[in-house]
Structure 1
Amino acid sequence: MSATTPLRTTLIGVVLSATALIPLQSTAFAAQNDTAGTAVTPATSVAGIEDATARSLAGSLADPAWQRQVRAAVLAADSVDLPALTSGSTTSTGKRLASAVAVADRGVAAAKGLGGDIGSLLRLGLADPSMEARLAGGAAPWVAAAPSDDASTFTAYDSRGTAHELPVAVVPDRPVYLVDVDGAKAVTEGLKVVNEALEAKGLDVPVPAAELNSAAYGAVAPAAATGIDTTLINSVRISDVKEPGIKGDAEIFTLVTGFGQDGKPRVDTVEMPYLNKAATTYYPNQVLVNWSNYKYNMADAVMMEDDGDTNYQALAKSIVTILLTITDQGVYIPLADALLDAIPTSWWTDDPDYVDSWYTLAKTTKGTRNGAAANGWMNVSPYYVSAL
């Protein structure tokens, strides 16, 4: 994710893919060491891959021609596609770096539980827009991996390979490039992985069109009724988006849970790409709940934020595993807590952060509802979507 722009299937397969990348990363980064003069330790976590890439890129900037090309690209856009920048370089240093960056990019996709056909994920941009003037003026940049949410400091590297520890809360007095992941693409592709896993277990099966009216209106639907009842988000505000300012915009998504028409627990994923700043009110007019998918007139919503090391295949597996143990007892049972309990404790550090949750939303719910964690509120209203 950029500092200025909203960015940001099986578990065995992920582990095998990540393991297979270790020798490739070692070879690619070792080749780059000849240019950068820097020892880079290969890693298979997103944070580790970003750090290794940042260190290697910093060393490569000792080449003045390549440094100028990177500077021009960063000044021309809020966020730069790093694999495209290196593969399209006109300098020998940039071209040599391209193979290592390509391997790192594939490693990020594997570590996040995403397919290898989603395109590039690694991005490069300034840690803060205020650095543009100094960068344009010729100040030598440092390079760092985007810091984790719970970090108070982060490490930036200069072209000699020297590491500098910097505070997260203070904008550095020199230009710093951040190596980060395209969070917006990661969330979109990651939720596809979650949806596929849910669908495979029958946990997000949509109601057939022929049954929409009876689902929305009861056993006997009005003859002229064709459409669905939904709950609309009129406005929403979050106090803390669980993202340090220097890391840039947050990538928020919501998991809506309840019992489907077939009596099985279900989860519907809702992307919220607009909701990227804390203490800002947004007016999305976005559908949160499609009531035709639910058996009971109640649903819960769990809002989360994607951080760098989120593995969507593992997230999907955890959610599916816990939901398959819950049965319909003939009454509504809140599923939000079960969903949160499904997420391993270790994930709460720079992984899908819990933002807030809303319990017992109904078709008739309207007005402002505060989140259970007191970290945000949503103003919602019933909205009937008629058929064309």
Structure 2
Amino acid sequence: MSVRKQLRTAACGLALTGVLVATAQGPATATPAASGPAEVSPVAAAEDAAARALARSLADTAWRAEAGRAVVRGGETGLAALADGARSRAAAPLAAEAAAADRSVLAAKGLGAGTGGLLTVSLTGDVDSRRAPLVAVAPSDDEAGAVTAYDTAGRLHTLSATEAPEVPVYVVGVDGEKAVEAGMAVLERELAAAGVSTAAAPAPAAAAAGTAATGFWTSRITSVRLADDKETWIKGDAEIFSIVSGFGLDGKVRVDTVTHPYLNDAGTTYYPNQILVNWSQYKYNLADTVMMEDDGDTNYSALAKAIAAALLTIADLGAYVPLVDPVVDAIPSSFWTDDADFVDAWYTLARETTGTRDGAGGNGRFTFDRYWVSAL
């Protein structure tokens, strides 16, 4: 858990031990709830529907107190689980709407029902305030200056996207860490099905035998730091993953995915000692890395199809060809709003690369060492 999340959770306990007054005094004039933009993503629409349902349910003071205690205990709580486990009857309509919204999110992200519920609720803003809470969803556009929030009467409030509000705000969002973990499995599985070598595809028998007998060299991340994690106050921790690409032992383009669940906050140096590249899987001693951040709307199935379509046109001509540009160019244009944000890229990492390497965009910094993984 990040320091920011720990402080938020502790403050929530202080805010909700008292009784919140019934009238929310938001930083903007309340207006009747209005429909959202004409075109919104399916995930954003599901989040908005769930936020409205939660706001309406919190009109019941007993349920509001119960929900507040549950969120404080967990910091971030599954919305469907919260509603399903409620003692108050006022949560029953919320349970049905949360389940429907979760199904919509899973479908929109290209994930199966076995992933489980992804919608969560957390508390942020001025949690010491005794004003009634609002319920908000992060904007679908990273450049948006405003956040839409609802009160228990269904009235709409406009909050700044760059400054934390002066009222407690329940935030309905997507469990990014869970989504990324499931999404990486989908990404590798669908890339493999399309003919791109991945960890989901069996390694050539000779390579597997050689690795089992000896071991293999890796590039290990000893430290990493981001200048900007592409997140606003309302979204909390970032959900970062990397796409490592090169040419496999069979001469075909290969893609491996790496998640960075610890990489929560910009301006903080992390020391994960995490393996980024397993060189026993690559024909050349060079590979490229594209680091991305899941902002909620990422459809991993669509992302896999786009990357596969671009990479399968690249042939091994006996010399290494950098793959960063094809990967980045393959990302659908919609992904540059609130889908998988581009964080940074590292061209032509070598098996011998050690020390500090800044990303091409100047946003990320890795420090590497060479690490030998011995066979058992």
SS at match of 1:127: strand
Residues 1:109 and 2:106 aligned together = yes
In the alignment, which residue of structure 1 is the partner of 2:138? 146
Q: 2:177 aligns with which of 172, 184, 189?
A: 184
Counterpart amino acid of 2:5?
A: T
Residues 1:53 and 2:58 aligned together = no
Structure 2 length normalisation: TM-score?
0.86
Counterpart amino acid of 1:95?
A: A
Q: CA RMSD in A?
A: 2.3
* CA offsets 1:185-227 (integer angstroms, 9 cap, x no match): 000000100010122133214534642586x8xxxxxxx9700
Counterpart amino acid of 1:4?
A: K
In the alignment, which residue of structure 2 is the partner of 1:277? 265
Q: 1:328 aligns with which of 313, 316, 337?
A: 316
In the alignment, which residue of structure 1 is the partner of 2:298? 310
Counterpart amino acid of 2:157?
A: H
SS at match of 1:334: coil
In the alignment, which residue of structure 1 is the partner of 2:149? 156
Q: How far does residue 316 in structure 1 lie from its aligned partner after superposition?
A: 0.7
Residues 1:91 and 2:83 aligned together = no
Q: 1:179–1:50: structure 2 CA closer, same or farther, 3 Å change rule?
A: same
Residues 1:167 and 2:160 aligned together = yes
* CA contact 1:50–1:145 (8 Å) conserved in 2: yes
Q: 2:245 aligns with which of 231, 249, 257?
A: 257
Q: How far does residue 90 in structure 1 lie from its aligned partner after superposition?
A: 1.6
Separation in structure 1 between the aligned mates of residue 273 and residue 202 of structure 2, nearest angstrom: 22
Q: How far does residue 124 in structure 1 lie from its aligned partner after superposition?
A: 0.5
Separation in structure 2 between the aligned mates of residue 207 and residue 118 of structure 1, nearest angstrom: 27
* CA contact 1:46–1:108 (8 Å) conserved in 2: yes
Separation in structure 1 between the aligned mates of residue 41 and residue 338 of structure 2, nearest angstrom: 15
Which segment is superposed worse, 146-155 or 305-314? 146-155
Structure 1 length normalisation: TM-score?
0.84
Q: How far does residue 44 in structure 1 lie from its aligned partner after superposition?
A: 6.3
* CA contact 1:229–1:384 (8 Å) conserved in 2: yes
Separation in structure 1 between the aligned mates of residue 359 and residue 33 of structure 2, nearest angstrom: 48
* CA offsets 1:278-303 (integer angstroms, 9 cap, x no match): 01100000000000111111100000
* CA contact 1:44–1:108 (8 Å) conserved in 2: no
Identity across aligned pairs (percent)? 55
* CA contact 1:112–1:313 (8 Å) conserved in 2: yes
Q: 1:350 aligns with which of 323, 327, 338?
A: 338
Separation in structure 1 between the aligned mates of residue 374 and residue 71 of structure 2, nearest angstrom: 46
Q: What number of residue pairs does the alignment pair up?
A: 344
Q: 2:351 aligns with which of 346, 349, 363?
A: 363
Q: 2:235 aligns with which of 247, 251, 257?
A: 247
Q: How far does residue 150 in structure 1 lie from its aligned partner after superposition?
A: 2.2
* CA contact 1:147–1:247 (8 Å) conserved in 2: no
Separation in structure 2 between the aligned mates of residue 103 and residue 38 of structure 1, nearest angstrom: 21
Separation in structure 1 between the aligned mates of residue 304 and residue 177 of structure 2, nearest angstrom: 18
Where do 5+ consecutive residues of structure 2 fail to align? 7-31
* CA offsets 1:100-138 (integer angstroms, 9 cap, x no match): 11001111111111001111111111124x51x33xx5x
Q: How far does residue 39 in structure 1 lie from its aligned partner after superposition?
A: 8.1
